[in-house]
């Protein structure tokens, strides 16, 4: 990179210009972007929920499609945040040199990386809300507790945006991102309770899955979708916040090291 990171300004909201810039660019293609994020999880939910679900018994007193709906919201949020923090952020940092231009303004590297974090979380919020609207239209929500799913989507999106920025700081090319999906995202989706209860897994594997950030989001959203309060809600919230804080700190340090090379 040609531009060295600028001195960080002590501005708590310095990330807002970066967020606004990304939002203005996205707004031009907002509808195709939302539809693209909506199509894949919706196909999974309808295909598995009605197809496979017709052959399965109820899970915890609810039909399989209702069980799958919560997992679909979480998986869609995770994927949207991950794609934005990887492919889009990498393009702005490495290919388009957008970060170089921003770092030649009074904004610092903290502002840029934080702006990318909150923008990726915003994109994931749009995606999660789109799925939630469809699920509500299908009659799969129960009562006003469904509104509490919105902050749970935000927390899940922030965690995966921060994790994605770590890999973005390490990636030499777009091809490198496939390792992240193959070794982390896909296995996590399979052992975090998205498609089936984790008690069907071997004990050691279920224990690993229970510590992963996707499982924390599922543990919050699934009860809320069923009109219930999540058990150990504070623990899951703190786990997602801790994941965000730690991952963002690591991503910022790795990004700084990369730009100073």
pLDDT at 8: 46
Angle at 26 between CA 7 and CA 12, to 5 degrees: 30
C-beta of residue 227 within 8 angstroms of C-beta of residue 142:
yes
Query: What tokens appear for 226 in the block?
Result: 């069923």
Total of domains in the chain: 1
pLDDT in tens, 51-100: 777 777 888 888 888 899 999 999 999 999 999 999 999 999 989 999 99
C-beta of residue 156 within 8 angstroms of C-beta of residue 194:
no
Q: Is residue 4 part of a domain?
A: no
Burial group, residue 224, by CB count within 10 angstroms (0-12, 13-18, 19+)? buried
> In which domain, by residue range, is 65 found?
16-259
Query: What tokens appear for 211 in the block?
Result: 């510590």
- Residue 38 to residue 45: CA distance in whole angstroms: 11
pLDDT at 261: 65
Q: Mean pLDDT per 10-residue run, the chain (261 residues)? A: 48 87 88 74 75 77 88 94 95 92 92 96 93 88 90 97 96 93 94 90 92 96 93 96 97 92 65
């Amino acid at each position: 990179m040609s531009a060295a990171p600028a001195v960080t300004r002590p501005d708590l909201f310095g990330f807002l210009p970066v967020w606004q810039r990304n939002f203005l660019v996205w707004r031009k293609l907002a509808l195709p972007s939302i539809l693209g994020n909506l199509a894949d999880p919706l196909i999974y939910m309808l295909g598995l929920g009605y197809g496979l679900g017709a052959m399965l018994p109820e899970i915890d007193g609810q039909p399989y499609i209702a069980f799958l709906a919560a997992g679909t919201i979480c998986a869609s949020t995770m994927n949207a945040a991950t794609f934005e923090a990887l492919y889009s952020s990498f393009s702005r940092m490495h290919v388009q040199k957008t970060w170089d231009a921003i770092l030649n303004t009074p904004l610092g590297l903290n502002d840029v990386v934080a702006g990318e974090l909150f923008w990726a979380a915003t994109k994931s919020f749009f995606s999660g809300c789109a799925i939630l609207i469809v699920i509500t239209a299908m009659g799969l929500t129960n009562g006003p507790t469904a509104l509490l799913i919105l902050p749970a989507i935000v927390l899940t999106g922030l965690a995966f945006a921060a994790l994605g920025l770590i890999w973005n700081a390490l990636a030499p090319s777009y091809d490198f991102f496939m390792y992240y999906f193959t070794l982390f995202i896909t296995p996590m989706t399979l052992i975090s309770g998205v498609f089936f209860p984790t008690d069907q897994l071997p004990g050691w594997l279920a224990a690993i899955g229970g510590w992963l950030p996707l499982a924390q989001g599922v543990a919050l959203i699934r009860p809320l979708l069923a009109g219930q309060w999540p058990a150990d809600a504070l623990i899951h919230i703190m786990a997602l916040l801790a994941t965000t804080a730690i991952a963002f700190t690591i991503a910022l340090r790795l990004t700084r090291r990369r730009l100073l090379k």
